[in-house]
């Protein structure tokens, strides 16, 4: 359990450090991501980005466990 938490924590740190590079390639603004902007309000729901990340992580974990 502790090893899993350490790996998850390191992955979160890595994503945080790589986030500026990831946004430059357009991962945060895919078609299907919902953005609602008003005067003092901004709502961002990354549906397509979440699905894409889920598929990629599932494929990577499937390959590792094979």
CB atoms inside a 10 Å sphere around CB 30: 14
Segment 14-62, tens digit of pLDDT: 888 888 887 788 777 888 899 999 999 999 888 998 898 899 889 988 8
Give the span between the Cα atoms of 54 and 57, in whole angstroms.
5
> What count of residues does the chain have?
66
Please state the pTM of the whole predicted model: 0.64
Element of type H or E holding 42: strand 42-45
């Amino acid at each position: 359990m502790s090893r899993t938490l350490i790996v998850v924590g390191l992955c979160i740190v890595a994503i945080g450090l790589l986030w500026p590079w990831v946004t430059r390639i357009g991962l945060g603004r895919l078609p299907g991501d919902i953005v609602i902007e008003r005067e003092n309000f901004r709502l961002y729901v990354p549906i397509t980005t979440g699905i894409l990340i889920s598929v990629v992580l599932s494929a990577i974990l499937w390959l590792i466990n094979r």
